[in-house]
Structure 1
Amino acid sequence: LEYEGTAYRGSQVQQGLPTIQGELARALYQLTGERPRLSFAGRTDAGAHAWGQVASAVLASPLARERLVAGLNHYLPESIAVREACWAARDFDVRRSPARRCYRYTIVNTAQRSPLWRGRAYHVAETLDAGAMDVAIRSQVGRRDVGPFVRMAGLGGRSTLRTIYRARAWRDGNLVQVELEGDAFLPQQVRRTVGTLIQVGKGRLSAEEFGALAEGRGPGRAGPVAPACGLYLMRVEYRDPSQSGC
């Protein structure tokens, strides 16, 4: 799935509110007459976006993949599109089977705001040192406790140990991009990491101070939380791609 999430209250269904899952469920019902249980590979916050979200459902309708894609896109709003569909193995678990998830955060780094990026990137007027941000974020690669970057309320006892396989920041013209690839992510982890990293880019934190905050040793706490408008779920990779039939 690809979607522009500005108008939605996140990916997960919420009664009476517009969500990505709610729109996909509605389109599936209009196409097949079925109301299957939908699961997503990763949750995205209200206002966040996706290039490569993955969803799964058990359908009785024997639709060809091409017809399923075209039919869903016919009923979905223009802000959501199905890019591809596959028949998966019965034991496929869209949430637990992924080996990696990749998130990207986009910052418009210009003196004046950019209306064309409104809702799709976070505007920061102060010039950011993307090189310093890259040095700081690369220190997060490895198996670590990401608790300092997580909203602890609602974790329900889940472990905050996560593996970050790749982390980088770079400048692309007027954009500064931050990318994190890991086994799994927790609420606000990417956005709080980026919010803290922006302080490095502004020269208000050193890479060493960023590392200390990440380990819970620094003065104060990590943050602030960067707005959801700049966050994109880029892709989801599975341990056994043959499971999906893609």
Structure 2
Amino acid sequence: MRSVRNLLLTLRYDGSNYHGWQIQQNAVTVQQVFQEALAKILGECPDVKGCSRTDSFVHALEFCVSFKTEHTIPCERLIGALNHFLPEDIAAISCREVPLDFHARYSCIGKEYVYRIWNCRTRDPFLRGRALHYWYPLDLEKLNRAAACFLGKHDFTSFCAVDAREPGNMERTVTKAVWSREGNMVEFTVAADGFLYHMVRIMVGTMLRVAQGKLQPEDISRILLACDRSAAGPTAPPQGLFLKQVFYRDVKRDA
């Protein structure tokens, strides 16, 4: 009798053609395409657990999934087979066996996102769908003062889409929130023990209001305390957002 294996796979994908990770009716998602490729290899449809849902058109530099199977295919061969069947905008980059109680979502202790802004008067067609084109001046010193207000443990109700709130704890602990620039590319990087629906995009949209002078950096603290979505700024477009890293305790992603 074959023993059950629990496999942890790391994917990378361009989300431009997908309505997020999670399977939906009447919409193509990354999970759907991934599971179709996996079924062709294993001859079965295992219960795939994703580390996050990700919004429509959001990208992932590192996205982790786990599933259990009795199939004996070696990890290296599975990566090669998946990349044969997956479309060019999704790639499997690593695979390893993990303990049976490991869960890609519930074993996660944190994630890091990056939001990219092309800060130039002229657009770059090669960045279409991969960065927000924003041509107004961005004062990074001012933006970083605003970002620092997010650090620590806060109730992020003001930074969660209203129609997506579920009863539960809205507190999250942010361990990193920093703006950086390289030439015309400006990036906001944020890490936390978890994220609410649209949280990063609302953070970015609100800080762009700071850049425009419509809010002051210190207003971020007031908005957090308000616990009111209407107190924050708009939701930034999804195309500039990338899931950058997923953190697990005592689990490596390479084979």
State TM-score, norm by structure 2: 0.91
CA deviation string 1:26-65 (max 9, x = no partner) = 0001111110111111111000000011011112211111
Residue 111 (structure 1) aligned to one of 121, 124, 144? 121
Structure 1 residues 149 and 164: CA distance shift in structure 2, 3 A: same
Unaligned runs of 5+ in 1: none
Question: Counterpart amino acid of 1:79?
Answer: D
CA contact (8 A) 1:7 1:47 kept: yes
Deviations 1:188-217 (A, max 9, x none): 100000000111122322111222222228
Equivalent pair of 2:155/2:227 in contact (CA under 8 Å): no
Deviations 1:161-181 (A, max 9, x none): 111111111112101100110
Q: Is the aligned partner of 1:167 residue 2:177?
A: yes
Matches within 5 A, 1:67-82: 67-82=77-92
Question: Is 1:60–2:80 an aligned residue pair?
Answer: no
Question: What is the match of residue 241 of structure 1?
Answer: 251
Instruction: State the match for 1:45 in structure 2.
Output: 55
SS at match of 2:226: coil
TM-score (norm 1): 0.95
Match of 2:139 among 107, 129, 148: 129
Cα distance, 1:135–1:40 mapped onto 2, change above 3 Å: same
Cα pair 1:131 1:170 within 8 Å, conserved: no
- The verdict on how the C-alpha distance between 1:217 and 1:53 changes in structure 2, with shifts beyond 3 A counting, is closer
Task: Verify the 8 A CA contact 1:8 1:20 in the aligned structure 2.
Answer: yes
Please state if 1:227 is matched with 2:237.
yes
C-alpha distance in 2, partners of 1:215/1:114? 38
Give the ranges of 4+ consecutive aligned residues of structure 1 lying more than 3 Å apart after TM superposition.
Answer: none
CA contact (8 A) 1:89 1:245 kept: no
Q: Is the 8 A contact 1:8 1:47 kept in 2?
A: yes
Name the CA distance, whole Å, in 2 between partners of 1:207 and 1:155.
26
Is the contact made by 1:200 and 1:210 (CA closer than 8 Å) also made in structure 2? no
Give the number of aligned pairs. Answer: 245
CA distance in 2, matches of 1:147, 1:234: 23
Give yes or no for contact 1:196–1:222 (8 Å, CA) kept in 2: yes
- Percent identical pairs in the alignment equals 34
Counterpart amino acid of residue 122 in structure 1: L
Larger strand percent = 2
